[in-house]
Structure 1
């Protein structure tokens, strides 16, 4: 995506930005001229490579190590932003983790971590971000289609994503008077480390069979999700707040019976010819 310098002089903080969607977004914002705070948990080399990539395309990057799973980590991350820049324009809550287990197999520590890693950093981060956005700003949280759909082993994470989308609406209401927009982006099957891990769970369906059910017939890319986030951060999304944008190739609109399971005369042709 070409940003055309629309993020010049903007300061953006992205949690979990050393890989996947966070990395793609960091490079995209950097291409638009932003200063990007690249938060990471432990892999300094990856984070520094992201910073180098941001600077190669014309932006400025700063790698900040902080474990947002902890309250102290969230506070230290925003303290660094405050000390370095004194302000913030964009906060993207991207870091996530979860236990892929059936409900009866979940332990209390799985539930605790789902909350501590996915929901709490978003809420605490927003509380820290708003005072730094005295000229207005944008907050975006990453969700997933497990927030509105149920499928095996995703309950612990999906329920937290649903809660995130609810918080997006409440924050949008409270922060609008400060000229701060709050939105979510819900990804479907996105080609990432998380997708590989999920489809590596013993007993889960083969992922190729699932792609047949997606209208676009493929997984999405990290860049495609990053582009959606970029739009919500851009001036063109000024009147959009309290919404969750779905980026899933049409997955959430389909239901059985699937076209992939039909046969003639219902099966779809390779491409319509226009002839009757």
Structure 2
């Protein structure tokens, strides 16, 4: 039986761990060849590349680039254009910031955060559009800090909010070419980043979040990958420009995430 994404190529930024890794595995299981972007953890990226090829029989290639450095973004995009004839799926997942109160944010923090989340997305969309045939899919991954207060997340929330706006604009501006642009805004996802955020209060905070969840569980990277897989399918075409809030109903019960 033919897999739904057989013959398609997917580029995933921030793919070596967390949500990005789960998305790579999910799309590969459905037949897609995978372009793995990572910043510096070569061992994790290489392990993922081997797993994709061994377990799913797809082609995979890895590209290292610090998305905060625009010269590296341009270099990665040139390499992708040299290697690939088509990009059918682009998942913009990478993010990083300085987790500080806004009063402590400096110009270099702003430049780094915006380059990784906003500028690199625009550069990638504009550079890769000629490689995107009709029915291509672009998925942006934002975060709960755009709709709930999260301690020290102000700068990242601003960048992710801009990403959601770009998702709407690119959806409209590319509709005539049948390039669909969607977004997913997960709730708190049980990743290594969440462990760092909560620190020593991680286990206690996780238990509290599970108790408050209508589904009595936490969102996993694999759960987010399932949503992204759906958005990559033709069944999601009428969600063009929409950013899907994926909180499992928790948004309606938890007014604020204040951190530890």
Per the TM superposition, whether the score is higher than 0.5 is: yes
Matched, 1:89 2:83: no
Aligned-partner SS, 1:199: helix
Select the structure of larger CA radius of gyration.
1
TM alignment of 1:231-250, pairs within 5 A = 231-250=230-249
Choose which of 39, 42, 45 in structure 1 pairs with 2:43. Answer: 45
TM alignment of 1:1-276, pairs within 5 A = 5-55=3-53, 56-200=55-199, 206-255=205-254
C-alpha contact (below 8 Å) 1:10/1:89 kept by paired residues: yes
Q: TM-score normalized by structure 2? A: 0.90
CA distance in 2, matches of 1:185, 1:219: 16
Equivalenced residue count is 254
Q: TM-score normalized by structure 1? A: 0.85
C-alpha contact (below 8 Å) 2:86/2:131 kept by paired residues: yes
- After superposition, the Cα gap between the structure-2 partners of 1:38 and 1:255, relative to the gap in structure 1 and judged at 3 Å, is closer
CA distance in 2, matches of 1:127, 1:201: 42
CA distance in 1, matches of 2:236, 2:93: 19
Q: Which residue of 2 aligns with 1:273?
A: none
C-alpha contact (below 8 Å) 1:81/1:88 kept by paired residues: no
CA distance in 1, matches of 2:48, 2:89: 18
Which deviates more, 225-234 or 75-84?
75-84
Aligned-partner SS, 1:239: helix
CA distance in 2, matches of 1:225, 1:256: 22
Using CA pairs under 8 Å that are at least 6 residues apart, name the structure with larger relative contact order, 1 or 2. 2
Residues 19-67 of structure 1 deviation map (CA, whole Å, 9 limit, x = unaligned)? 1111111111111111100011111111111111111223221111122
- After superposition, the Cα gap between the structure-2 partners of 1:211 and 1:235, relative to the gap in structure 1 and judged at 3 Å, is same
